[in-house]
Structure 1
Amino acid sequence: MQLANRVKTLTPSSTLAITAKAKKLKEEGHDVIALGAGEPDFNTPRYIIEAAKKAMENGMTKYTPSGGIVKLREAICAKLANDNDLHYTPDEIIVTTGAKHALYTLFQVLLNPGDEVIVPAPYWVSYPEQVKLAGGHPVIVKADEKNSFKLTPDELEAAITDKTKAIIINSPSNPTGMVYDKEELKALAEVCLKHNILIVSDEIYEKLIYTNDKHTSVAQLSNQLKKQTIVINGVSKSHAMTGWRIGYAAGDKEIIKAMTNMASHSTSNPTSIAQFAALAAYDSPEDPITEMKKAFKERLDTLYDLIVDIPGVTCEKPKGAFYLFPNVEQAVKNNGFEHVDEWVTALLEEEKVALVPGSGFGSNGNVRLSYANSIDLLTEAAKRINRFVINHQ
């Protein structure tokens, strides 16, 4: 059977591919340390689990409105007001089956064939693919590693054409962990306003910043920017709820309505039980988040020091998320490999450490390491990587 053209250009997720290979080796009995996962290794806080149980016991197991239950949308409005000084009404919010589905649905309602979306690289693996699935064209703009992988206004300006419809800004970033400060966002936003470009602001790692820097949403910089920005967020990273699949989009009422209409014909609604769990997450104190953040900070400090000591590896210390994105080009060259993907495969086969090659993120000289793991395993992983590098010199 002939497949639709839209799926023929898709690139398989490098994250899922390396995770699957690591899982297979584990099932075969190998001692694999997987640093590819893009999710917290903590369980969902108990009070959220109990809220889900209560919802089931109370019969909250039926269809809900396609855009999410009103109480949850109200809770999201309160969260945005309290955390970000952003004021929305429930009809400017859609609850989705994870933040990924919020992005997917947004591009489906936003893009016509040939419309361009600027995607700064390194990027999360699904951004370009989702744009392509919507008939759009992802315009990849490489952000310089010397500038902390952050796009500059001049680079943005140079990438804009008469077909440019939107830009994706992800801060804190997956895969780099870098964070745009307020002034950097202002400078990019001025270019977007000048050219009337929609800003898609992916803020899923908002709660995971390990410096004194405060997260800034581009939407909070001015009323005009709020109108021109769609904020994407959710509970997956902040509350260790990746499997519950609850995200949301906040923004222009017309766009949110179109997304809601589309959701009514695709998912019908996010899982009812998961919505009540998310409601508990937003209505309760953030102590579990504080503890998780403290653990991630300790892991970052430990792993970072070990990784930058490996010959041929350089890395700027990230400020957020839970990834390191070191440059390993010199190590790969010293080890006699042609490219990073080959080096990563050999590392997994020989030392049983799974990293994600940077090629999947639009940066061929880097690898992504998730430190969503115990300090003992992170220390052992760094030891194995170092041994691999030294043995191949």
Structure 2
Amino acid sequence: MLSQRSAMLNSDAGAAWTAAEAAAASAEQIIDLTAEEIRTDLAPMVREGTIIAINRNTTTEPAELRHALARKISAETDQDWSADEIAVTGGSKQALFNVAMALLNPGDEVLIPAPHWTPFPAQILLVGGTPIFIQTRQNNFVPKITDLAAAVTSKTKAIVVNTPNNPTGTIYNRDTLADIAQLAIDRDLWIVFDECYGAFAHTPHTHHPIVSVAPPARARTLIVNSFSKSLALTGWRIGYVAGPRAVISTVKALQSHTTYSPNVITQHALLHHLESADASFQQKLQRHVADARTLGLSILSTLSSIPQPTAQGGFHFYLDLSGWQRCAKSAGPEFNADHVANVLLTDAGVATVSGTAFGDPAGIRLSYGVDPELLGKALHRLTVTLNTWN
């Protein structure tokens, strides 16, 4: 008999990956646009740092890493941060889970703008909290402050702020962030600020750390980030959470009784990269993503009945199907994103992620962090298939 909490875990976007793998195994020509990673070479300074650490027979954690991260965050937020305000984690998921464990009691409510990254509500449920979803589609996927304020109750403990957003690619502007920060201050709420896609803000849009926009909110803000996106290190599982010392101390204590810390080779490799101050790889990665975005938007502009995604940040296109009329190929009296994703897989040979994974039955997420040639081929197939439905 499994635990009750295991029933809270959905397969989420994993279903799309499983379907893509199954199709590929059967020799079908499937192009996979489900990924939450950029397919690229390893950052040179990370690779060099790895080799150095191995050649030194390194087995201990580098204490200097948290100091290096403090310098990084200080530069990004224009505020002073110290090493004891930072915990190094096994990617952003562990950071978020540790924060949920540290902040939430059973029954506490957390506001989550939707569509949302799947782990946000899953982790809240696992620790006994209650996710409260705030719909954003009618406001260009940005939460209205009036909707957030109306959802606050005596049980509300925190607000999740994810910008650039996964899955929608939306970036919250300064006014939105300032309003959220003021609401959190006025109603005594925590802010969980997930900026994992912050390195990819596409012109003319700019990513703003919320503590820079509203410095008084720093005392109630937990900044979560990882290097899975900015350095394309998804499988290396390295990230951090920064915030008030008392919370960070609790996060570290929790981590000491679970996974303890990311492996030391990864930590030394990241430290070497940060100390090298070599920004060339990240700049190259940003150009690669920006070029892929331009290519993708050009192709998606040929969709006849679906709005072109804005893709302000990150590396996902989010197709809004809400105004799309039902077509002959959709099964049943209505269709949802699951139907569309299945047809794209079978008819176009393109694996996508249905918005139902993100609490939205009217959206489709496409990654453009793939090889440009494959991206172009996939999006051409996708547009032809969707346009034949009209």
With normalisation by structure 2, the TM-score equals 0.95
Q: 1:312 to 1:335 in 2, by over 3 A?
A: farther
Q: Is the 8 A contact 2:89 2:238 kept in 1?
A: yes
Counterpart CA distance in 2 for 1:87 and 1:116 is 31
Give the distance between the partners of 1:153 and 1:346, measured in 2 at CA. 37
CA distance in 2, matches of 1:341, 1:167: 28
Cα gap change, 1:335 to 1:248, in 2 (>3 Å): farther
Secondary structure of the 1:304 match is helix
CA distance in 1, matches of 2:138, 2:154: 30
Change beyond 3 A, Cα 1:147–1:330: closer
Q: Distance in 2 between matches of 1:335 and 1:314?
A: 20
CA distance in 1, matches of 2:385, 2:345: 10
Partner of 1:44: 42
The answer to whether the 8 A contact 1:96-1:269 is kept is yes
1:312–1:334 Cα contact (<8 Å) kept: no
Quick one: distance in 2 between partners of 1:81 and 1:147?
32
In structure 2, what is the Cα distance between the partners aligned to 1:70 and 1:168? 30
Residue 389 of structure 1 is matched in structure 2 by 386
Determine if contact 2:197/2:313 at 8 Å carries over to the other structure.
yes
State the 1:281 CA deviation: 2.7
Q: Report what 2:122 is aligned to.
A: 129
AA at the equivalent of 1:11:
N
2: distance between equivalents of 1:386 and 1:245? 35
Q: Which of 346, 350, 357 is the equivalent residue of 1:353? A: 350
1:278 and 2:275 are equivalent in the alignment:
no
Please give the residue correspondences for 1:1-393 in structure 2 after superposition, counting only pairs within 5 Å: 2-13=1-12, 15-62=13-60, 64=61, 69-143=62-136, 145-283=137-275, 284-331=277-324, 333-337=326-330, 338-393=335-390
Give the whole-Å Cα distance in 2 for the aligned partners of 1:71 and 1:346.
Answer: 51
Q: Give the deviation of 1:330 after TM superposition.
A: 4.8
Separation in structure 2 between the aligned mates of residue 212 and residue 281 of structure 1, nearest angstrom: 28
For 1:222 and 1:155, the matched residues in 2 are separated by 20
Query: What amino acid is aligned across from residue 354 of structure 1 in structure 2?
Result: A
Write the distance in 2 (CA, Å) between the matches of 1:222 and 1:146.
26
Shift of residue 43, structure 1, vs aligned partner: 2.1
What is the CA distance between 1:365 and its match in structure 2? Answer: 0.9
Between 1:188-197 and 1:337-346, the stretch displaced more is: 337-346
Give the partner amino acid of 1:10: L
Distance 1:6 1:239 in 2: 34
CA contact (8 A) 2:109 2:157 kept: yes
Alignment partners' CA distance in 2, 1:258 and 1:203: 21
Distance 1:179 1:197 in 2: 22
Q: Secondary structure at the match of 2:319?
A: coil
CA RMSD in angstroms, aligned pairs only: 1.5
Contact 1:201 1:232 in 2 (8 A): yes
Take 1:339 and 1:259, find their aligned partners in 2: how far apart are those partners? 39
- State the distance in 2 between where 1:44 and 1:126 align: 26
Q: Would you say the 8 A contact 2:49–2:273 is kept in 1? A: no
Taking structure 1 as reference, are residues 209 and 285 closer, same or farther at Cα in structure 2, changes over 3 Å only?
same
* Aligned mates of 1:130, 1:300 — CA distance in 2: 31
Point out the more displaced range, 22-31 or 255-264. 22-31
Deviations 1:152-191 (A, max 9, x none): 2101101100000001001111111111111211011111
Change beyond 3 A, Cα 1:32–1:93? same
Q: Is the 8 A contact 1:148 1:316 kept in 2?
A: no
Which stretches in structure 2 are left out of the alignment for 5+ residues?
A: none
Give a deviation string over 1:292-350, Cα, whole Å, max 9, x none. 11111111111112223223211341211000111124556124422220121122022
- Counterpart of 1:378 in structure 2: which amino acid? L
- The alignment partner of 1:326 has SS state of strand
1:54 Cα offset (Å): 0.8
Counterpart Cα distance in 2 of 1:233 and 1:335:
44
Contact 2:161–2:191 (CA under 8 A) maintained in structure 1:
yes
- CA shift, 1:147, in A, is 2.2
Query: Deviations along 1:184-237, whole A, 9 cap, x unmatched?
Result: 110111111100100000011111111143321111234421111000012111
User: Can you list the C-alpha shifts for 1:251-283, whole angstroms capped at 9, x where unaligned?
Assistant: 011111111001001002111001011112322
Tell me, yes or no, if the aligned pair for 1:205 and 1:321 is still in contact at 8 Å: yes
- Deviation of 1:290 after TM superposition, in Å, equals 0.8
Give the match's secondary structure for 2:290: helix
Cα deviation for residue 21 of structure 1 reads 1.2
Give the CA deviation at 1:387.
2.5
Aligned length in residues: 385
State percent identity of aligned pairs: 30
Question: Which sits farther off after the overlay, 218-227 or 242-251?
Answer: 218-227
For structure 1, list consecutive stretches of 5 or more residues without a partner in the other structure. Answer: none
Give deviations 1:13-58, integer Å, cap 9, x for gaps.
2x22111211121122111111100001112212211101111111
